[in-house]
């Protein structure tokens, strides 16, 4: 973005009023050069929501407006509708609360779905989700896309993947439509059925697929790679390699027993936001807890893992991710790539998404000190960690790395795909 002005101290504001009538905004202070120009790609912001040279700063520092509840989470609920963003400019370095008269405003749109991408609601058997198919005949690599313990269904990442040539099934696994609102155990058959639905699509590669997981869904993704032979690639974001909170059964037997956190493992920061103690995460990975670990070392040959976390994660999944790496290496496995991103928090979204430093969370699963009490802490204001600039760098790196990872281990490693390609020669 380049602006030509008189010699002013411009204040750029960005706002998104299109998120279910919740308003998010950010601002940045700049000083024009001798030509009356500012270029956010090369010039440093001197104040506002961020400082320094940060071209994506106005987007990634979007946060609830001062009049809004501060723990709102910004994400696109309907990816078929583009973001509508207003960028305005005022004279003088003011705060978000001290808006002056606008010198000028432009309206921007950010599209999540490319032209020709198909969005197909899935309600087959017990499986609930939304399938996004890229434009064209394919065959395309397919992935199942899951988020964490917030539940429900998030479609924005699957829409973006399909726009880049990867068929993606955004999969709900609780707290959506007729699925249970709270669960104590999962059946692997549910995820097996989702895998079958994805692979049955005419434009999707038939013999293998991948999984993307975030936070809680990581133990489920690792289990899919371990027990379901078509799952050959897992990209795990900020998740533990241990069955957390919920049991997992397959063919009528418990294959993973969920470990519970205690109330004493949680802490409040100075602003009364909940987070997990780092020592509590370290204590998960003791010899007596080894049976809670997903035995990813037993996955079929040719199954690969990409596990990432931020080192400023308030839930310390960097510790859990490094323990996963340690276990795989100790067992002689070389099929796991692990990356710890400096300055990133728990939430590493697609590029130029707003940093989710804090948000309201539906519940956190713990065992209360009073055994007669509920095992769910509900209505939690949680802190997730990270800073905007480093998290943005992590977003950019992971987005490219993850797509290359799936292309390599699904499309390029697929005998079915190679035979199809050979038959067309």
Q: Is 213 a catalytic residue?
A: no
pLDDT value at residue 104: 84
Percent of the chain, pLDDT > 70? 91
Residue 375 has pLDDT above 70, yes or no: no
pLDDT value at residue 102: 80
Indicate the helix (H) or strand (E) that contains 209: strand 209-214
168-196 average pLDDT score:
96
pLDDT value at residue 367: 53
Residue 389 has pLDDT above 70, yes or no: yes
Residue 368 has pLDDT above 60, yes or no: no
User: Quick one: tokens of 38?
Assistant: 């500012």
Residue 111 has pLDDT above 90, yes or no: yes
Name the active-site residue from 149, 213, 215, 314. Answer: 215
Indicate the helix (H) or strand (E) that contains 168: strand 167-172
229-241 average pLDDT score:
98
Report the distance separating Cα 99 and Cα 90, nearest Å: 8
Buried b (16+ CB within 10 A) or exposed e, 2-19: ebebeebbbbbbbbbebb
pLDDT value at residue 2: 43
pLDDT value at residue 17: 53
272-290 average pLDDT score:
93
Residue 1 has pLDDT above 60, yes or no: no
On whether the CB atoms of residues 350 and 395 are closer than 8 A, the answer is: yes
Residue 209 has pLDDT above 60, yes or no: yes
Q: Is 291 a catalytic residue?
A: no
Q: 2-110: which CATH topology?
A: Immunoglobulin-like (2.60.40)
pTM: predicted TM-score of the whole model, two decimal places:
0.93
pLDDT digits (tens, 9 = 90+) for 294-321: 999 999 989 999 999 999 999 999 999 9
Report the distance separating Cα 57 and Cα 73, nearest Å: 17
Question: In the chain, which residues fall in CATH 3.40.50.1820?
Answer: 118-261+275-345+397-411
Name the active-site residue from 275, 346, 361, 409. Answer: 346
Residue 374 has pLDDT above 80, yes or no: no
User: In terms of pLDDT, which residue wins out, 100 or 118?
Assistant: 118
Question: End-to-end CA distance of the chain, in Å?
Answer: 46
100-121 average pLDDT score:
91
pLDDT value at residue 94: 83
Q: How large is the greatest C-alpha to C-alpha distance in the chain, in angstroms?
A: 74
Name the active-site residue from 245, 312, 313, 318. Answer: 312
Residue 35 has pLDDT above 90, yes or no: no
Residue found under tokens 């897992």 = 234
pLDDT value at residue 160: 99
Indicate the helix (H) or strand (E) that contains 61: none
pLDDT digits (tens, 9 = 90+) for 317-327: 999 999 999 99
pLDDT value at residue 366: 55
Q: Classify burial at 165, counting beta carbons within 10 Å of its beta carbon; exposed 0-12, middle 13-18, buried 19 or more.
A: middle
Q: What angle do CA 416, 193, 232 make, to 5 degrees?
A: 40
252-280 average pLDDT score:
92
119-148 average pLDDT score:
98
Question: In the chain, which residues fall in CATH 2.60.40.2240?
Answer: 2-110
Task: Tell me the average pLDDT of the chain.
Answer: 91
Residue 259 has pLDDT above 70, yes or no: yes
pLDDT value at residue 8: 45
Q: Is 215 a catalytic residue?
A: yes
Candidate CATH numbers 3.40.50.1820, 3.40.47.40, 3.40.50.300, 3.30.590.20; the one for domain 118-261+275-345+397-411: 3.40.50.1820
pLDDT digits (tens, 9 = 90+) for 11-23: 556 665 555 678 8
User: In terms of pLDDT, which residue wins out, 56 or 364?
Assistant: 56
User: In terms of pLDDT, which residue wins out, 260 or 221?
Assistant: 221
């Amino acid at each position: 973005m380049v602006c030509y002005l008189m010699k002013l101290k411009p204040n750029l504001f960005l706002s998104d009023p299109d998120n279910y009538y919740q308003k998010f905004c950010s601002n940045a202070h700049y000083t024009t050069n001798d030509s009356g120009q500012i270029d956010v790609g090369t010039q440093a912001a001197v104040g506002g929501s961020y400082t320094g040279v940060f071209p994506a700063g106005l987007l990634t520092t979007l946060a609830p407006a001062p009049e809004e509840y501060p723990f709102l989470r910004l994400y696109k609920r309907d990816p078929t509708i583009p973001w509508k963003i207003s960028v305005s400019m005022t004279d003088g370095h003011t705060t978000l609360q001290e808006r002056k008269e606008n010198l000028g405003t432009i309206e921007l749109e950010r599209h999540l779905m490319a032209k020709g991408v198909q969005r197909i609601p899935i309600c087959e058997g017990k499986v609930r989700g939304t399938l996004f198919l890229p434009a064209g005949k394919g065959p395309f690599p397919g992935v199942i896309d899951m988020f964490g313990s917030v539940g429900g269904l998030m479609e924005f990442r699957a829409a973006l993947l399909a726009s880049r040539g990867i068929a993606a099934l955004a999969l709900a696994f609780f707290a959506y439509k007729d699925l249970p609102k709270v669960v104590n155990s999962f059946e692997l058959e549910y995820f097996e059925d989702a895998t079958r639905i994805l692979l049955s699509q005419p434009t999707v590669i038939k013999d293998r697929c991948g999984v993307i997981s975030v936070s809680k869904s990581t133990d489920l993704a690792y289990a899919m790679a371990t027990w379901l032979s078509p799952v050959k690639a897992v990209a795990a974001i900020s998740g533990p390699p241990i069955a957390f909170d919920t049991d997992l059964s397959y063919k009528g037997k418990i294959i993973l027993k969920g470990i519970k956190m205690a109330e004493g493992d949680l802490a409040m920061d100075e602003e009364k936001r909940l987070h997990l103690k780092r020592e509590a995460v370290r204590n998960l990975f003791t010899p007596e807890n080894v049976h809670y670990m997903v035995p990813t070392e037993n996955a079929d040959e040719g199954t690969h893992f990409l596990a990432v976390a931020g080192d400023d994660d308030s839930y310390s999944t960097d510790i859990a991710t490094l323990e996963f790496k340690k276990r795989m290496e100790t067992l002689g496995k070389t099929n796991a790539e692990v990356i710890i991103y400096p300055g990133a928090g728990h939430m590493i979204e697609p590029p130029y998404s707003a940093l989710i430093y804090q948000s309201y969370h539906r519940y956190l699963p713990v065992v209360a000190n009073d055994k007669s009490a509920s095992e769910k802490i509900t209505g939690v204001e949680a802190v997730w960690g990270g800073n905007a600039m480093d998290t943005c760098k992590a977003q950019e790196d992971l987005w490219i790395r993850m797509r290359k990872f799936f292309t390599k281990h699904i499309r390029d490693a697929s005998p079915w795909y190679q035979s199809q390609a050979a038959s067309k020669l």
